[in-house]
Structure 1
Amino acid sequence: MTLTPAEANIFDTSAATRMRRSLGEQSEDGIREVAKQFESLFVQMMLKSMRAATPGDGLFSNAGTDQYQQLYDQQMGLAVTQGDGPGFGIAAMVERQLREQVGFDNPAPVTGGKGIQDYGRLPVMRIQEAPTPDVAPKPGAPTGKATGLGGKGDGWEKPEDFVRDIWPAARATAQELGVDPRALVAQAALETGWGRHVIRKADGEGANNLFGIKATPGWQGDRVRVPTLEYRGGIPQREMAEFRAYDSLEDSFRDYLQFLNNNPRYAGALKVSDDPVAFTNALQQAGYATDPHYARKIQQIMGGDILRATLPELKNDAPRTTPL
């Protein structure tokens, strides 16, 4: 249920309950409500920071006026972001990112800004100038081959390009696992936001981690520590975690293959690998991710418009005969 600015009230104790329910519904209305709640919290924090940096009113400032001002700022944050107005545009970007994560189509692009995952999983990076049209790509940017993100490019701009670039490695790995390659492409798309949010190192260099595999104590390779979103008791929480870093995208697929084969808890998933729905359900049941809707999101991407439009042109390619 979306509230009008007049109905939004900071003393409404059921707001948190509605947000939890909206997170669990995975519906379009629920996603829209969560996005507005996120923007409201952001605006409230912004007002609080601005208020803290503003000198007080001297003689007329006291505990009572300070409390009233805090309540006013909170109510203002709700009023600005509720209803049908555009607000500050943050909710639109958050909604777009959440729709992509659950496999919903986005009817229209949102101009400017980054998705929520930019702030949830990526280290702080220096600001880069926007690329100029009709100019050669930056060194290290994707070039049509799944060689990796060794440079400081911004990743794939189009989901279709991401699918085309990782398809050869996905198909070869799928043959080794006995899995439908669509499942691997969809899982990589979910983990990386269609290649636009690949985990990066502190210097901006791509870590080439397509499957969100964390660096366990026994991992001997490179690693990168970044913020991530985990679900605890069904509620998303921001945490810091170390993830594996690879030299290339092929290395990411190779490690994914070894990761599943060498972990007994995924034996059940490999037994049903010929069924992509059963395979992804078994991955979730084995604890691959904390997101309670992880398997369903992968399945929605598998059946989504992007793969349906892109894969037919790729399935006619000659199969790869050498293992990764």
Structure 2
Amino acid sequence: MSDLSTTNSASYLDFGALGRLKGEASRDPTQAVRQTAEQFEAYFLQQMMKSMRDTVEKSDLVESNNMEMYQDLMDKEVAMKMVKRGGIGVANMLEKQMLKQSAELSTQDALKLRPMVQPEAIPLVKPTEPLPLKSTAIQSYELSRQTVGGKP
């Protein structure tokens, strides 16, 4: 019987594996790119299998919430195994694209090249004297004040 802690199927849902992947990315970015691409392809394959299962008519005799949960778990494991055996090539394309971009220019270098534009402040001009109210505004204020109390 195999021990589950010794298996090497790091999942995109495992937060411990995510922490290890972040640590590995700081040491060897190319290996972390490969693992990230494989996890993305596994997630893609799992969602594809889930969509395919949704197209099949379900029977009330064998379907239940537990059955769906176990099918999702099985789809996840099948997707991970498919990727480890070569997958459908999504991980290879992602890895190639990410390594090509990282070799050209890193994100930090691109941000350094971007010009920093300081926004101009809008000058505040205080009026020297108060603005007068229009005569129509004064009349409406007097009318509303007279009718509110009910007394003329």
Task: Give the shorter-chain TM-score range.
Answer: 0.5 to 0.7
Q: Distance in 2 between matches of 1:102 and 1:46?
A: 29
1:271-282 matches, within 5 Å, as 282=112
Structure 1 residues 27 and 9: alpha-carbon distance in aligned structure 2, compared to 1, 3 A threshold? closer
TM-score scaled by length of structure 2: 0.57
Matched, 1:89 2:98: no
Give the letter aligned to residue 81 of structure 1: V
Mapped partners of 1:55, 1:20: distance in 2: 41
In structure 1, what residue type is equivalent to 2:9?
A
Provide the C-alpha distance between the structure 1 equivalents of 2:112 and 2:62, rounded to a whole number of angstroms.
63
In structure 2, what residue type is equivalent to 1:28? T
Q: Is contact 1:48–1:73 with CA below 8 Å preserved after alignment? A: yes
Partner of 1:118: none
Query: 1:26–1:102: 8 Å Cα contact kept in structure 2?
Result: no
18-27 vs 30-39, greater mean Cα deviation: 18-27
TM-score between the two structures when normalised by the length of structure 1:
0.29
Which residue does the alignment assign to 2:77? Answer: 75
Tell me the matched-pair count: 109
* Match in the other structure for 2:139: none
* Alpha-carbon separation, structure 2, partners of 1:40 and 1:285: 39
Cα distance change of structure 1 residues 25 and 54 upon mapping to structure 2, 3 Å threshold: farther
1:251-270 map, 5 Å: none
Within 5 Å, give how 1:1-324 maps onto structure 2. 7-8=8-9, 10=11, 12-21=14-23, 27-82=29-84, 85-103=85-103, 282-283=112-113, 286=116
Percent of matched pairs sharing the same residue: 26
- Distance in 1 (alpha carbons) for counterparts of 2:59 and 2:18: 34
Output the CA distance in 2 between the equivalents of 1:59 and 1:42: 30
Q: Give CA deviations for 1:270-304 in whole Å, capped at 9, x if unaligned.
A: xxxxxxx8xx67336949xxxxxxxxxxxxxxxxx
- Structure 2 counterpart of 1:8, one-letter code: S
Q: Are the equivalent residues in 2 in contact too, given 1:19–1:37 (CA < 8 A)?
A: no
* Secondary structure class of the residue paired with 2:61: helix
Cα deviations by residue, 1:16-49 (Å, 9 ceiling, x for unpaired):
3344445556622111111111111111111111
- Higher helix proportion (structure 1 or 2): 2
Structure 1 pair 101–66 and aligned structure 2 pair: CA distance change class (3 A): same
Structure 2: how far apart are the matches of 1:282 and 1:21? 25
* Structure 2: runs of 5+ lacking an equivalent: 1-6, 118-152
SS of equivalent to 2:57? coil
Q: Match of 1:102, as an amino acid? A: S
**Per-residue deviation, residues 299-324 of structure 1 (Å, max 9, x unmatched):** xxxxxxxxxxxxxxxxxxxxxxxxxx
Cα distance per residue 1:208-245 (max 9 Å; x no partner): xxxxxxxxxxxxxxxxxxxxxxx9xxxxxxxxxxxxxx
Alpha-carbon deviations, 1:70-105, whole Å to 9, x = none? 1111111112113xx3211111101100110111xx
Higher Cα Rg: structure 1 or 2? 2
**1:9, CA displacement in angstroms?**
5.7
**Secondary structure, in 3 states, of the residue corresponding to 1:57?**
coil
Letter in 2 for 1:76: V
Unaligned runs of 5+ in 1: 1-5, 104-185, 191-230, 232-276, 288-324
CA apart distance, 1:58: 2.4
1:60 is displaced (CA, Å) by 1.3
Superposed CA RMSD? 3.2
Is the CA contact (8 Å cut-off) linking 1:81 and 1:87 kept in structure 2?
yes
Counterpart of 1:70, as a letter, is: D
C-alpha contact (below 8 Å) 2:25/2:31 kept by paired residues: no
